[in-house]
Amino acid sequence: MASYYSEPPVVPRNGHTLVVGIVARISGCASQKELSLDDQVDHAKEVIDEMYDGPVEYRIIATKGKGERLDRPELDEIEQAYRSRELDVCVMEDVGRMVRGTEAVRLWGIGVDHGTRSIAPNDCCDTIDETWEEDLISACRDHVGHNTHTSRRLKKKLMNRFKKFGGAMARPVAGYIKPEDAKTYADWLRDDAATEMIRKGLQMLETTLNCSAVAHFFNREGFSTGPYCRRKEWDGHMVRRYYENRLLSGHPGRGFRSTIKHHETGRRVSVKNTTGEPIFLDFPHLAHVDSAELDEVNRLLAEKNARLGRKKVNGVDPFWQKPRTQTRFPGQHACCWYCGYHYVWGANGVTDNLMCSNSRDWHCWNSIGFSGEIATTRIVDLVVRELHDLDGFADQFADLVRTADANRSSGVPDRWRRLQLNEEALAREKDNLMSAILQYGVRPMFDERLKALDSKEKELRQERHYLEMLNSRKLQLPNSIGTLRELLEREFRTLAVDSAELGALLQQVVPEFYVYNVRLCDGGHLLPRARIRLDLAGSIPDAQYVPGLQKMLSRVVTLDLFDQPPQRERIREEVVRLRAEGVPKRQIARQLEEKPKPPVVDQAIDLDRRMRQLGLETPYVLVLEPPDDYPKLRRHKNPKYCFKPLEGYQRPEL
């Protein structure tokens, strides 16, 4: 009996093989297993088997992610597949597997415009029907409604449990013990060994109103940050949050924050609850400190910090609803060469400068900052120069691209060979295991081994799906050096220096960015310099599959991050030249464009002499440790200082 989906019959647009896209997704929750992805793919294949009897080529997009999220990369991949006009049919178990919400209508509409039939059997939606758009909107409404109702039901249920008997507990903080069988706050235990430390910290905070001082005290005394805290040492922000928690006075609360949907991205954002006051319960056995004393300290801290914080622009916080990881380049991308930690904005009170984040925590001596705008501008100029210098490799670049287009799997032959060898080894292991089961019978050790083999088989199946997909689509590569240069230069022209979009592009083009300090050989200020690895192929989606392309487009360069050299270095070469011509010192200063004072001319001559004595080609020397004669660098003299590089970090060669 013919299936509904076989009417009307599908016809491959290439005349011989039906090209089918399958979309599968799971949210990635603890209760979901990746096996569900395979089930969705198998269901889609069953639909295709009922529709078509000929050869079929499957292109699978199987991912983890929340269905409401609109910034998932697989949605761009689905849209590109629709626009490529290569898919005959696109199947998903239900439209929520692609995306929840009416964004699905737009994507399906692109598929219809480009001749791709889309089917969601569980939602009874098929673009072959004249009413597909209304049916799809109705299905989207049901999926969105299900999420909303479930969220509202869970929030009310958890708040009700908290009000009735102290259920829906938070995670325990430092100073509390939560037994494994605890159901309410009444089952929690106060850690009496921590009470004295918590009270001393509160007294110090009341006297000094300095959270960083309390953090230093806690770290010195070895007071733990708590079982669920990622950081193992206290800082001022952690102390402020800790003493803001009224659990310390025996009053746990709930309802401080709520979630709202950011419709542009589909993200759920946690914000302060503005619809009502938080609810507190009384559990006296959990109190470490007096409630009135804790409230008074928090009031004093609030008054002190009222004038602080990020300034609003036109009444709006410029970073409202922006994640902390979304920062301007090179923030959280540039790394300190000495300790390996990344750089952050706000160096020594200068908001437009960056400094080592580890130095802020007194674990690195390098507190020298650099201008983010200067660094970004110079990197863009450097990339443009390097792109123009690639003209000599134009023929080699074109040959690599032609070879990759002729053999789409050329970039992954080793992976294909490894896959085949692993599949053969897996087949032998299965045969040996079955023989052992037949000979010795069922045993627990066989069951464990069988589970391991099933897991390995699943990994190999996913690898095969990926390589087949890669082999079936056209690689996205620029056809010439000129095209690559035009693409990048157009991006640089249209994007602002401080934009997140330019930052994302530069992170691809500059995968390594290490900052270190140099100094003139005669002393003076420390100057930041960067070791940068350029990867001009970083913005090419499929460059990794073209052997030799990344090597040809990669290089390591040195870049000065300071505005300009000291004056004695700027005039050194000209001073030495005039001095060699016999010009008196006083006249040298008058002939130079900068019109330096005579003592600076003497300093330039001494700098050149010192450089020659040391046998240096340039007057700059690498600073490996804080100089004793530099009074502005004294962070390492503080009792809180302890150099702690990133775990496993090894300094790259300069």
For residue range 267-291, list pLDDT tens digits in order.
Answer: 888 888 888 889 999 999 999 999 9
Domain that holds residue 200: 166-305
Mean pLDDT computed over 328-351: 91
pLDDT tier, 480 (very low <50, low <70, confident <90, very high otherwise):
confident
Picking from 472, 494, 525, the residue at the C-terminal end of a domain is: 472
pLDDT at residue 325 above 90?
Answer: no
pLDDT of residue 340: 95
Mean pLDDT computed over 160-175: 93
In 3D space, the residue among 128, 108, 125 whose CA is nearest the CA of residue 21 turns out to be 108
- Count up the domains in the chain and report the number: 4
Higher-pLDDT residue of 134, 502:
134
pLDDT of residue 272: 87
542 located within any domain: no
pLDDT at residue 45 above 80?
Answer: yes
Say which CATH number the domain at 111 has: 3.40.50.1390
Say which CATH number the domain at 276 has: 3.90.1750.20
How far apart, in whole angstroms, are the C-alpha atoms of residue 529 and residue 518?
Answer: 7
pLDDT of residue 449: 80
Mean pLDDT computed over 391-398: 69
The least confident of 406-415, 556-565, 609-618 is 406-415
161 located within any domain: no
193 located within any domain: yes
pLDDT at residue 409 above 60?
Answer: no
pLDDT at residue 477 above 80?
Answer: no
> Does 143 share its domain with 170?
no
511 located within any domain: no
pLDDT tier, 82 (very low <50, low <70, confident <90, very high otherwise):
very high
pLDDT of residue 2: 38
pLDDT of residue 540: 73
> Does 207 share its domain with 281?
yes
603 located within any domain: yes
> Does 140 share its domain with 171?
no
> Does 74 share its domain with 176?
no
334 located within any domain: no
Mean pLDDT computed over 241-259: 93
> Does 122 share its domain with 224?
no
266 located within any domain: yes
> Does 189 share its domain with 111?
no
- Is residue 135 a contact partner of residue 123, using CB atoms and an 8 Å limit? yes
637 located within any domain: no
Condensed to tens digits (0 to 9), the pLDDT of residues 541-574 reads 666 667 777 777 888 999 999 989 999 999 999 9
- Is residue 536 a contact partner of residue 643, using CB atoms and an 8 Å limit? no
Higher-pLDDT residue of 180, 501:
180
> Does 301 share its domain with 192?
yes
pLDDT tier, 173 (very low <50, low <70, confident <90, very high otherwise):
very high
pLDDT of residue 303: 92
Mean pLDDT computed over 488-517: 82
Mean pLDDT computed over 492-511: 79
Mean pLDDT computed over 32-60: 86
pLDDT of residue 179: 94
Would you put residue 441 in left (φ > 0), alpha (ψ -120 to 50) or beta? left
In 3D space, the residue among 570, 562, 565, 566 whose CA is nearest the CA of residue 373 turns out to be 562
pLDDT at residue 323 above 80?
Answer: no
The dihedral built from the CA positions of residue 169, 170, 174 and 179, taken in this order, carries a sign that is positive
Picking from 283, 305, 327, the residue at the C-terminal end of a domain is: 305
pLDDT at residue 495 above 50?
Answer: yes
> Does 202 share its domain with 255?
yes
pLDDT at residue 6 above 70?
Answer: no
pLDDT at residue 403 above 70?
Answer: no
Would you put residue 495 in left (φ > 0), alpha (ψ -120 to 50) or beta? beta
> Does 201 share its domain with 242?
yes
pLDDT of residue 384: 86
> Does 16 share its domain with 137?
yes
pTM: 0.69
Picking from 281, 305, 329, the residue at the C-terminal end of a domain is: 305
User: At CB < 8 A and 24+ separation, what contacts does 140-144 make?
Assistant: 140/95, 140/100, 140/101, 140/102, 140/104, 140/105, 143/67, 143/94, 143/95, 143/96, 143/100, 143/101, 144/100, 144/101
How far apart, in whole angstroms, are the C-alpha atoms of residue 653 and residue 320?
Answer: 40
> Does 142 share its domain with 8?
yes
pLDDT of residue 410: 47
> Does 210 share its domain with 138?
no
Mean pLDDT of the chain: 86
